[in-house]
Amino acid sequence: MYSLAKEKIKIVLFEGIHPSAVECLHKSGYTNVVTYAKALEGAELIEALKDAHIIGIRSRTRITKEVLDQAPKLMAIGCFCIGTNQVDLEETLARAIPVFNAPYSNTRSVAELVIAEMIMLMRGIPEKNYVCHEGGWLKSANGSHEVRGKTLGIIGYGHIGTQVSILAESFGMNVVYYDTETKLALGNSEPLDLHRLLEVSDIVTLHVPEDASTKNLMSRENLNRMKKGAVLLNASRGTVVDLQALADLIESKHLAGAAIDVFPVEPKSNQDEFITPLRNFRNVILTPHIGGSTMEAQENIAVEVAVKLVKYSDNGSTITAVNFPEVSLPVNPDSHRILHIHHNVPGILRTMNNLVSNYDMNIDAQYLQTSGDIGYVVLDVKSTEQDAEALYKEMQHVDGTIRCRLLF
């Protein structure tokens, strides 16, 4: 495909993405932006995407194979959040559609919520707050503890986990952590195996991705391993905790409480009923998936993802794409740039170079990166516009080509 004029590239944003994303796109010349305040599904979603070139979503919009089948012009997807499990990454890769997200922009927001909730739980605030709202007065120090001197166990020592670790130590807490990869300990934190961490921690907080290895990570068996009177926090993914088992252990008073922000099944809108076995407990904090939902985080996310989409559309850069070969590209206004995405099979680069040799042109730069079954070649050539277009048309017909784009 030829690169369109920026004002002709249609960008559709769903789920009330922060206005700073639209501002960023407009400043970059992308003025054809359509926004929706909520997630769409079914026929409504397909209708909204049928002529979209770029889309932006959050966690509720599902981009499946069936949806992609009805979006033939789609060339990039921005997930204005951390997770990308709402997108069929294999299918988007097969169609040469890079997917971008914002893995770090709401790190601080999640960490602050976790710290606040662990203090609230250790002080017994949820129950005391409930009693006050009911007209009661539960003035007692029983079951109320400082976090200073307590042991915090962090499962998943990545960007959020390490932020929680630093903040917790500033409160005088002892920090231990578990991660499937070897991670450098920050401050005085110590690595432990999972079972030992569960046994010694007064508070356990989860910061892991959603994949096969983390599904029901906090099973009934592992919840039983937790120290009696401990509390559990989950602001990672809803499938990580067996919520019925958690409810049973809180009911039996083996655990003193929990704070849960993510759930295996969440309401599609604010009007739908929220159902969980934890609803009736006064010592459980339930929040509607708002760990990263601060105005600061949403603005940071909006700008971060919008910039990534602009860079890909403007010059083909794919750095931090979650499903695509990553290439960081300079601006080269004196050349014509061709983007060639193809099946990763031998001989394609040789074929492309042979095509170039048939024209009176110089190769200013050539970039190649592969990822699994996909190869991505970026070719900058110095030539006439007519020769560049002719080369582009020939490259479209190279065996194994998935998508070819002439940028400028």
C-alpha to C-alpha distances, 334 to 218, 241, 337, 367, nearest whole angstrom: 56, 55, 10, 17
Confidence band, pLDDT 50/70/90 cuts, at residue 361:
confident
Q: Are strands 374-382 and 336-343 parallel, antiparallel or unpaired?
A: antiparallel
22, 28, 32, 38: CA torsion to nearest 10: -20
Map tokens 């592992």 to a residue. 222
> 97 and 115: one domain?
no
What's the predicted TM-score (pTM) here? 0.82
Query: Which token pair is 317?
Result: 């850069």
> 214 and 255: one domain?
yes
> 95 and 163: one domain?
no
Report whether pLDDT(116) > 60: yes
Structural domains of the chain, count: 3
> 261 and 119: one domain?
yes
What is the rounded CA–CA span in Å between residue 87 and residue 278?
A: 29
Domain that holds residue 210: 106-286
> 134 and 267: one domain?
yes
- Write the CB contacts of 104 (distance below 8 Å, at least 6 apart in sequence): 159
Q: What is the pLDDT of residue 101?
A: 96
Sign of the Cα pseudo-torsion (62, 66, 68, 73, in order) = negative
Q: Are strands 362-371 and 374-382 parallel, antiparallel or unpaired?
A: antiparallel
Sign of the Cα pseudo-torsion (71, 303, 369, 361, in order) = positive
183, 186, 190, 191: CA torsion to nearest 10: -10
Confidence band, pLDDT 50/70/90 cuts, at residue 66:
very high
> 216 and 264: one domain?
yes
> 27 and 46: one domain?
yes
Report whether pLDDT(61) > 60: yes
Residues 100/320, Cβ–Cβ less than 8 Å: yes
Which of 30, 2, 3 shows the shortest CA–CA distance to 12?
A: 30
Which of 345, 360, 354, 359 shows the shortest CA–CA distance to 402?
A: 345
The catalytic site residues sit at 237, 266, 289
- Looking up residue 161, the CATH number of its domain turns out to be 3.40.50.720
Q: Residue count of the chain, please give it.
A: 408
> 116 and 181: one domain?
yes
Report whether pLDDT(1) > 90: no
What is the rounded CA–CA span in Å between residue 361 and residue 155?
A: 55
The number of CA neighbours under 13 Å toward the Cβ of 229 is: 11
> 71 and 148: one domain?
no
- Over the stretch 215-273, which tens digit does the pLDDT of each residue have? 999 999 999 999 999 999 999 999 999 999 999 999 999 999 999 999 999 998 888 99
Which of 49, 55, 93, 60 shows the shortest CA–CA distance to 77?
A: 55
> 115 and 247: one domain?
yes
> 299 and 183: one domain?
no
> 134 and 233: one domain?
yes
